[in-house]
Structure 1
Amino acid sequence: MGCDTFTPDINGAARFAERLSAGLVQRGHTVHVSAPNDRYALEKPRIEKVEGEDLVLHRLPSVRWPNHDWLRFVWPWRSKHYARKVLDTVRPDVVHIQSHIVIGRGLTREARKRGIPVIATNHTMAENILDFTRLPEWGNRIFVKLAWDDAKRTFDMASAVTTPTRKAADFLEQTIDISGVIPISCGIDMSQYTAEIGPREEKRIVFVGRLTSEKRVGDVLRAAARIPDAIVELVGDGDQRAALERHAEELGIRERVVFHGRTSDEDLRAALTRASVFAIASIAELQSIATMEAMASGLPIVAADAVALPHLVREGENGYLFPPEDVDVLTDRLNRVLDADAGEYERMQRASLELVAAHDITRTLDTFEALYRGEQIPA
């Protein structure tokens, strides 16, 4: 498994790779993971317990991205060198990359030389990292073009290319002119989440995810400022946290906003269970594991009508969509959920549970195992 982000990093790609790897170990596979180290040092492969299972981690020397609060990366010109070392040591039956950027890029090229099949999963949009390039607008345009050109070269070498949703697959096919991208949900283990069916005594709006600009968490705060007595819980951290704390002060709701930062899985799940509604204003989700976690916790969802979020929200059934950046409509949709009578609220809760059942992790594992065996999966 080639991962440019992996535990202790917290983002969708890392969480998916961790759960997929652990699920494969449970099924009797031996899983090795290439991922950045927390310092510029190459260490011997070691066993790390991830999601309760033992994985073999190959931690590669990495440096911190200067414009990001935690992201680390391997020098691109060293990626093939480290890939050779890992592949010649492990001699895997299949390589599954979770990113085309650095580690996955090197593994793909070296695996191809050795005749090892590669499965590539795309979790990223090049546009997502423009806030961290610090380039002028013309520089960002060049950066995005080069990034997608490189992605195409990598994906063209793969036996199969997957992405979490049909919408994300369509986006990738149109952006880099490839075909046959297979949508496979990141999956979720619903047994890990607790849904308390019934109305809440408090109005609690929760968001889980990185506090970065593309998540547009400020929109959620502005909507909450218009809803008397609403409490906002933000689970996650990021480069925008300080700015969001100041924004909450300016809105006069700082005492009603809880910044949890990074939390344990137990605390995250507890925050979801006690919440009234999950709100996500993000404009760059290729699936959103956090939204699926909220659904598995029996929460109605209010989400931006952008990219893949409409795949998880059925208007009026398990929640509502709103036009991206439209705080007026976001406020209205939140009020519809928070002011719903007991019967209507419970109906939305149960709809979330029913809809997320289609994303059970068992199906995800079955599909990837079939790909690893070389079976054809309909795109």
Structure 2
Amino acid sequence: MEGPMNIVIFTDTFLPKIDGVAVSVENFSRILSARGHNFVICCPRYGDDDPMELGERVKIVRFSNFALPSYPDIKVVFPLFRKIREAMTMFPADLVHIQSPGLMGIYGIIAARYYGVPAIGTYHTLVSEQTTYLSPARLLKIDRLIAFYRSLRGTTDRVSPARNNKKTLAQRAVQRSCNWLYEREDLIISPSHRIKNMLLEQHVATPIEVISNGMDLGVFRGSVKERPSTPPRLLHVGRISFEKNCDVVLNAFTRIRRELPGATLSIVGDGPALESLKAMSTRLGLADSVEFTGFIARADLPALYPRYDLFLTASTMETQGLVVLEAIASGLPCVGVDAYALPELIHHGENGFIARPFDPEEMAHRALDILADASRYRAFSAEGLRIASEHEINRCATRLEGVYARESARAGSRIVRMAEAV
């Protein structure tokens, strides 16, 4: 399709909330709107100060909702068909782009079918890994009473859910429902090859194309780090939620401190597991060496990463890993785990190491190996910058623009289509 395109995005999360989905939607809509395309972003309402546009060509339609009791950042959006009609006709839609398999994703499929336009979706989130927030104990907040009771008895409250390689019944059910939605789209965009392979193994029949979410290398502009500081400064950035396994990072850090007593760790971010992690840090005797910064504005992150020496993550649910991409673009070697997309950004033995999931002993061992060898450290930093360069945001936006044009062209004349729908 030639000329400007009108894209309607349906997402269960967006600004002012900051996460990988919101950042991806904001980045691509800003870049492609500057090239003349129009966007309408359908998303939850968070408050009275929510932005309602990102410029003349990017409009935002907010949907009323209620917060999930077990995780207030997750919004359950009401089906407001008046809002859907407003979004689809503000700029007569050429294509619907779904960013999440929640209720907004379902509304996006309905809108695309009603108005006769293609629907594509990006597989940003492994929703099946977040079923802990759907348990009755968490929804009714009984887990807080249990944690309080354990604190009185001096026992440890569990930071992370049970871990094994088998999917629970709830996880399998959620995975099937997500795949049901993706199979009703015309194309799936996967941010990584590993997620594409996972979908193929699950026999998802919809065509899949790999396009990175990208990184603005003009903002995250790192340089080669020659050697770690003495003592070293370690960093973890991200949503502080149970499925991110930040407790594994804390346990690894206790082992690192045995070898490097002056080492420090900063945990940047906010989320439902934060208070549990603070309590755990105190129990482990790390209160003086671990800093919990809470939320830090995204605009401040490019200046934050270079102040550290090594990035750690134990997350087992990354479809790409935005914070890892930010870290390597800032010149930091990384230690991650062998789960989903992380090995596509952390190349074992090249710009960091990959440890076994849920193994703090190996994570600590790998971190110490990097910090102990200055020549290896410098090589890892340089290779991370090279890997990050492959994800330059404008290059990724051009690929997405090509997908939009190709899929829109397959749908035929927009004018005829909209005349029939209205």
Tell me what 1:224 maps to: 253
After TM superposition, the score normalised by the length of structure 1 is 0.90
Offset from partner CA, 1:133-179 (integer Å, 9 cap, x none): 02489xx9554444334333332332211111111012123335324
Matches of 1:221 and 1:144, distance apart in 2? 26
Q: 1:291 to 1:45 in 2, by over 3 A?
A: closer
Tell me what 2:286 maps to: 253
Structure number, greater radius of gyration: 2
Tell me what 1:319 maps to: 352
What displacement does 1:99 show? 1.0
Offset from partner CA, 1:34-80 (integer Å, 9 cap, x none): 110015x9x9993246xxx97311111111111104222203xx155
Whether the 8 Å contact between 1:152 and 1:178 is mirrored in structure 2 is no
1:1-379 equivalence runs, <5 A: 1-38=9-46, 46-48=52-54, 55-75=58-78, 78=79, 80=81, 82-135=83-136, 141=168, 143-175=170-202, 177-196=204-223, 197-201=225-229, 202-226=231-255, 227=257, 228-341=261-374, 343-374=375-406
What displacement does 1:203 show? 0.6
Whether the 8 Å contact between 1:45 and 1:59 is mirrored in structure 2 is no
Matches of 1:45 and 1:350, distance apart in 2? 38
Q: Specify the SS of the correspondent of 2:288.
A: helix
After alignment, is 83-92 or 330-339 more displaced?
83-92
Matches of 2:132 and 2:363, distance apart in 1? 24
Q: Specify the SS of the correspondent of 2:406.
A: coil
Structure 1: unaligned runs, 5 residues or longer: none
Matches of 1:250 and 1:357, distance apart in 2? 41
What displacement does 1:86 show? 1.9
Whether the 8 Å contact between 2:185 and 2:206 is mirrored in structure 1 is no
Whether the 8 Å contact between 2:41 and 2:61 is mirrored in structure 1 is yes
Whether the 8 Å contact between 1:58 and 1:86 is mirrored in structure 2 is yes
Q: Which amino acid aligns with 2:18?
A: I
Whether the 8 Å contact between 1:124 and 1:286 is mirrored in structure 2 is yes
**Aligned alpha-carbon RMSD (Å):** 2.4
Whether the 8 Å contact between 2:42 and 2:61 is mirrored in structure 1 is yes
Q: Which amino acid aligns with 2:16?
A: P
Whether the 8 Å contact between 1:111 and 1:117 is mirrored in structure 2 is yes
Q: Which amino acid aligns with 1:215?
A: K
Percent identical among aligned pairs is: 28
Matches of 1:225 and 1:54, distance apart in 2? 50
What displacement does 1:83 show? 2.2
Q: Which amino acid aligns with 2:177?
A: D
Q: 1:327 to 1:146 in 2, by over 3 A?
A: closer
Matches of 1:127 and 1:44, distance apart in 2? 29
What displacement does 1:105 show? 1.3
Whether the 8 Å contact between 2:246 and 2:315 is mirrored in structure 1 is yes
Q: 1:175 to 1:107 in 2, by over 3 A?
A: same
Q: 1:330 to 1:145 in 2, by over 3 A?
A: closer
Matches of 2:57 and 2:111, distance apart in 1? 26
Q: Specify the SS of the correspondent of 1:116.
A: coil
Q: Specify the SS of the correspondent of 2:62.
A: strand
What displacement does 1:370 show? 0.9
Matches of 2:71 and 2:203, distance apart in 1? 27
After alignment, is 254-263 or 154-163 more displaced?
154-163
Matches of 1:30 and 1:156, distance apart in 2? 26
After TM superposition, the score normalised by the length of structure 2 is 0.81
Structure 2: unaligned runs, 5 residues or longer: 1-8, 138-160, 162-166, 409-422
Q: Which amino acid aligns with 2:365?
A: D
Q: Specify the SS of the correspondent of 2:185.
A: coil
Matches of 2:54 and 2:67, distance apart in 1? 22
